[in-house]
Amino acid sequence: MRNLPTITRNLLLINVIVWLLTSIVARSGIDLNGLLGLHYITAPAFHWWQVVTYMFMHANFSHLFFNMFAVLMFAPVLEREWGATKFIVFYLICGIGAALMQESVWALMYGHELALAPSYIANRLVTIGASGAVFGILFAFGWLFPDVPMFLFFIPIPIRARVMVIAYAVIELFAGLGGMVFTGDNVAHFAHLGGMLFGWLVMLYWRYGEPHVKAWWSRLRGHDDDSGNDRWSEYHYQRSE
């Protein structure tokens, strides 16, 4: 743990501590998942802070383990590339973006039922977990290091990072569409895709938009500083050093 970057280490610790606390207080009848998990926006149980707190809640140990295993594998690389501040901003944006996507899907799937019985239906809609932010991390890793060979537990051959990211996105899309048409599997597939989508938007902004914004701001202040144009020159699709 001492060798991990600061934000990655703290994310792991916070998620484990929150899961332990949730398990302990549940014995006293206190439901932290209900308080901190993400509810539908019209539900009486919804609170504004849930778009952030839901990503630190987990249903069980396996849910926690696989999310934190992904954080352990991919987050240190990104944090060392970007620095602590940029990484945590990216992580939170992906998690919040996943929450917004989930809210939109709920409205699309249950809009008619919510209109008939808003409180009853809305209170039953809740999602928890860091998966949206994790899928954003996975996308960023595939963007920055597309040719890095990766191995899955059940496939004994290397798979390029970008291929794995695309495969995950396709699987989540079909799984999510299947859940809308048939009986769902209680997994927030579209939240995962939302994390990837917002990760992609942030990466696009950093790559193409931020230099122009900095140049515009510099001209507005009467300076001719275009140094920001090369901000991403070191972040090629695959560095050749």
Residue 229: inside a domain: no
Residue 55: inside a domain: yes
Q: The domain that contains 113 carries what CATH number?
A: 1.20.1540.10
Q: Mean pLDDT, to the nearest integer, of 188-207?
A: 89
* Pick from 94-103, 104-113, 132-141, 175-184: least confident: 175-184
Residue 99: inside a domain: yes
pTM over 0.75, yes/no: yes
Residue 231: inside a domain: no
Residue 227: inside a domain: no
pLDDT band, very low/low/confident/very high, at 239 (cuts 50, 70, 90): very low
Average pLDDT of the chain? 82
The amino acid occupying position 84 is A
Domain enclosing residue 99, as ranges: 6-220
Residue 233: inside a domain: no
Give the 3-state DSSP-derived string for 53-113, with helices as H, strands as E and coil as C.
HHHHCCCCHHHHHHHHHHHHHHHHHHHHHHCHHHHHHHHHHHHHHHHHHHHHHHHHHHHHH
